[in-house]
Amino acid sequence: MPPPVFRFAPSPNGYLHLGHAYSALLNFDLARRTGGRFLLRIEDIDATRCRPEFEAAIYEDLAWLGISWETPVRRQSEHFARYRKAVERLADLGLIYPSFESRAEIARLVAQRDASAPWPRDPDGAPLYPGAAKSLPPDQRRQLIAQGTPYALRLDMAAARARTNQLTWIEHGEGPGGETGAVHAQPEAWGDVILARKETPTSYHLSVVIDDALQGVTDVVRGRDLFWSTSVHLLLQQLLGIPQPVYRHHRLIEDASGHKLSKSTQATALRELRGQGAAPADICSLVGLSGDFCNTTGGC
Binding site for ligand GLU (CB under 6 A): 9-11, 43, 208, 222, 226
Which lies closer to ligand GLU via its Cβ, residue 99 or residue 203? Answer: 203
- Name the minimum Å distance from CB 28 to ligand GLU: 14
Which lies closer to ligand GLU via its Cβ, residue 17 or residue 222? Answer: 222
| 254 bridge partner residues | 260
Which lies closer to ligand GLU via its Cβ, residue 11 or residue 203? Answer: 11
Which lies closer to ligand GLU via its Cβ, residue 10 or residue 127? Answer: 10
- Name the minimum Å distance from CB 291 to ligand GLU: 25
- Name the minimum Å distance from CB 232 to ligand GLU: 11
Tell which phi-psi region holds residue 181, choosing left (phi > 0), alpha (psi between -120 and 50) or beta. left
Identity at 171, one-letter amino acid code: E
- Name the minimum Å distance from CB 221 to ligand GLU: 8
- Name the minimum Å distance from CB 224 to ligand GLU: 11
d(CA 76, CA 204): 10
- Name the minimum Å distance from CB 2 to ligand GLU: 21
Which lies closer to ligand GLU via its Cβ, residue 159 or residue 252? Answer: 252
Which lies closer to ligand GLU via its Cβ, residue 46 or residue 60? Answer: 46
